[in-house]
């Protein structure tokens, strides 16, 4: 138990310590548990309020629901903090890894993923009446697409093209001079997506990285 909390401490203090695999892994787990933690906190608050209202204030379940729905402290401080902190810690971890390695890419791109998600969540939770705002919807969609692209292409390398070995049989399908390492090379649809969508995007990112000094 002490080792666990020590790991959490190093994860939360990312800017002041070198980030190792353990700290990065714990940070990824915490960002994945943001929604379950929020649900758990809301349920815990609900049951505590029901018990308190039943014993001391004679408040019914319906009234408890109204109290929690109107609670500024719950929605703007408690739930927002637990939604923001894991993303903020991962953002700081990415900055620290960029500083330690002396390289901006891909750490700053990963940091931007967590920062953009945190800002969208922060605005959406503190301004629920503005969630139908056009610019918030655009920001939400853009952030979601960026996260999907980063996780799928950069982190997981789901559609990674690897060169064919010269020793491979020439009788294989000549559809493309390369294969996708994570998918069946016989899937012509996925190969087409890789050739005309994914690969041009990766090439554009590489050109940008080469054009910016020290990136």
pLDDT of residue 180: 45
162 pLDDT band, cuts 50/70/90, is low
Dihedral sign computed on CA atoms, order 155, 157, 159, 163: positive
Q: How far apart are CA 166 and CA 173, in angstroms?
A: 14
Taking the CA atoms of the chain, what radius of gyration do you get in angstroms?
23
113 pLDDT band, cuts 50/70/90, is very high
pLDDT of residue 160: 60
Q: How far apart are CA 212 and CA 214, in angstroms?
A: 7
CA distances from residue 143 to 33, 109, 112, 117, 192 in whole angstroms, order as listed: 19, 12, 10, 6, 25
Pairing relation of β-strands 178-180 and 161-163? antiparallel
pLDDT tens figures, 27-83: 889 998 988 998 999 899 988 888 888 777 777 777 888 888 888 888 888 888 898
Asked if omega into 26 is within 30° of 0 (cis), the reply is no
- Asked if residues 109 and 116 have their Cβ atoms less than 8 Å apart, the reply is no
Looking at per-residue pLDDT, the higher value among 198 and 112 belongs to: 112
pLDDT tens figures, 168-180: 444 444 334 444 4
Q: 0.75 exceeded by the pTM? A: no
pLDDT greater than 50 at residue 126: yes
Q: How far apart are CA 117 and CA 100, in angstroms?
A: 24
159 pLDDT band, cuts 50/70/90, is low
- Asked if residues 159 and 194 have their Cβ atoms less than 8 Å apart, the reply is yes
- Segment 115-141 mean pLDDT: 83
* 100 phi, psi to nearest 5 deg: -65, -40
Instruction: Provide the 3-class DSSP secondary structure of residue 4.
Output: helix
Q: How far apart are CA 44 and CA 133, in angstroms?
A: 31
């Amino acid at each position: 138990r002490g080792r666990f909390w020590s790991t959490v401490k190093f994860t939360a203090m990312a800017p002041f310590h070198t980030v190792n695999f353990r700290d990065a892994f714990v940070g990824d787990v915490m960002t994945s548990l943001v929604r379950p933690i929020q649900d758990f906190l809301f349920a815990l608050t609900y049951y505590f309020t029901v018990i308190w209202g039943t014993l001391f204030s004679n408040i019914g379940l319906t009234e408890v629901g109204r109290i929690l729905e109107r609670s500024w402290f719950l929605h703007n401080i408690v739930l927002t903090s637990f939604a923001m902190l894991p993303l903020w810690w991962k953002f700081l971890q990415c900055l620290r890894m960029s500083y330690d390695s002396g390289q901006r890419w891909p750490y700053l791109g990963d940091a931007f993923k967590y920062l953009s998600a945190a800002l969208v969540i922060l605005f959406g939770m503190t301004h629920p009446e503005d969630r139908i705002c056009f610019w918030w919807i655009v920001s939400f969609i853009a952030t979601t697409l960026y996260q999907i692209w980063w996780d799928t292409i950069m982190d997981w390398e789901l559609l990674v093209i690897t060169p064919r070995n010269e020793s491979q049989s020439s009788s294989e399908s000549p559809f493309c001079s390369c294969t996708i390492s994570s998918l069946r090379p016989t899937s012509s649809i996925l190969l087409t997506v890789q050739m005309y969508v994914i690969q041009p995007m990766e090439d554009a990112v590489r050109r940008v990285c080469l054009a910016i000094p020290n990136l």
